[in-house]
Amino acid sequence: MPRRPLRPTELPLNELATAYVQAGETLYLAIHDDIAARVRMAHPEAQHLEIGFDSDGDLRLHGIWGGQEPGIGHCRLLYDPQNDPQQAWRDGPLDIDELVSDLDRVLDASFLYRWGVVEPHPVHEYRDRRWITFPPADRPAAVAEIVRRHVPEAESLICRFEANHRGIAVGFEQLTLRGGEAVSIPCPRCSPETEESPWPHDVSHHLARILGQLYALPHLRSRHLTPCVEVTSEHEGQMWQLVFPYQPSASPKVAHP
């Protein structure tokens, strides 16, 4: 009987590549979330980190930043290690050395760059530095807020996820409105000239990043995304539904005598 040739795995190489990318995205997103949680314990308003690399290639933290201030148009610096000559952070709630070590680890691969959470510095004179954006504290609530800016009656979003060796692709299928009405979302690849999309293209791009992270992190996927077996689509990929957090109706006005 001829001997069966030995193979390192029974999985085809393209499936192995997909599994590798999915594992990397999950791991590095989880580390990124952990970094954000630790920084926010010390600086609750933190939304960005400013980092750079010295001449030896070592990572340096240049600042912890909040969001954009209303009426100012730029972010607010919450902590500047360069202006901490006593290095008070060594005795504070945030271990900067550990933070820098973890940042160096996640920036060593390209996973976070594909999610758009690591970008060039927004100020041109510091373009050699990197700007790291933290995820929303509540991703489902963030998606609901973005969608309801354009469709106030939206109750849930049905989308599809397709994972391959290039990462996770997100497509939008339909919105469910208050009262049960379903509204289809045109596919930009199938109908590139359509003007019926419920929101601009850049909003779709932003939503896809947050939804892709929800799908990539198993603990969030199981908690917030529900498979839709009854929804059919012309595209590949499993349909999932994200039910938005409850939106209370406006309180009725009470007439006073």
What would the mean pLDDT of 196-208 be, rounded to a whole number? 90
Amino acid identity, residue 28? Y
* 1 confidence band (pLDDT: 50, 70, 90): low
Burial (CB < 10 A; 0-12, 13-18, 19+), residue 143, is: buried
Helices and strands of the chain, counted as H and E runs: 6, 10
pLDDT recorded at residue 256: 47
The two three-digit tokens of residue 184, written as one number: 């289809």
DSSP assignment, residue 24?
A: H
pLDDT recorded at residue 54: 87
Give the residue from 153, 145, 188, 172 showing the smallest Cα distance to 231.
172
Percent of the chain with pLDDT over 90: 43
Task: Tell me: pLDDT of 115 over 90.
Answer: no
What would the mean pLDDT of 51-77 be, rounded to a whole number? 83
Diameter over CA atoms, the chain: 98
Which stretch of 37-51, 65-79, 98-112 has the lowest confidence by average pLDDT?
65-79
pLDDT digits (tens, 9 = 90+) for 204-257: 999 999 999 999 999 999 999 999 877 666 776 789 999 998 876 544 444 444
Task: Tell me: pLDDT of 26 over 50.
Answer: yes
Give the residue from 122, 148, 118 showing the smallest Cα distance to 134.
118
Query: Cα 153 from chain centroid?
Result: 24
214 or 114, which is more confident? 214
Coil, strand, or helix at residue 87?
coil
What is the Cα–Cα distance from 169 to 188, expressed in whole angstroms?
A: 13
188 or 220, which is more confident? 220
Task: Tell me: pLDDT of 85 over 80.
Answer: no
Q: Are strands 118-120 and 225-227 parallel, antiparallel or unpaired?
A: unpaired
pLDDT recorded at residue 129: 92
Calculate the average pLDDT of the chain.
Answer: 83
pLDDT recorded at residue 109: 80
What is the Cα–Cα distance from 44 to 65, expressed in whole angstroms?
A: 11
